[in-house]
Amino acid sequence: MHAAPNPAPLLARIAPLLTAAAEDQVPWAAAALDAEMLELAVTTARHIDRYLPPAPAVHIALAGAVWESPAATSSLIAALQRVSRRRPMIARSSADPIEGAVRLAGCIRR
């Protein structure tokens, strides 16, 4: 995977296996999922602090199939609570993840 020219599709195929194993409380899977969600939470908190005005809570919309996993969602929420002073208000988005990323990028550029 590390040598792949584009690892994203490979990771996308692995995500359901990882989240299913984490939901079955397989220790290595839960630890791996928590580590990945912590990295995502750190990046998310950094973007929130940089681009959003101060507030006690922040609304976060999750898009994509990985967020159908309760293990992934709860791991991200726990990680966000560890790395951010703001309370995460999580909602599932029906929007396409690419569309959401493009809209977010447009907001940030302004």
Rounded CA-CA distance 48/87 in Å is: 11
> 50 pLDDT band (50/70/90 cuts)?
very high
> Residue 98: pLDDT band by 50, 70, 90 thresholds?
confident
Residue 34 contacts residue 50 (beta carbons within 8 Å): no
Q: How much is the pLDDT for 33? A: 95
- Model confidence, pTM: 0.82
pLDDT, position 1: 55
**Confidence class for position 103, pLDDT limits 50, 70, 90:** confident
The answer to whether the beta carbons of residues 14 and 25 sit under 8 Å apart is no
Give the residue extent of every domain in the chain: 8-109
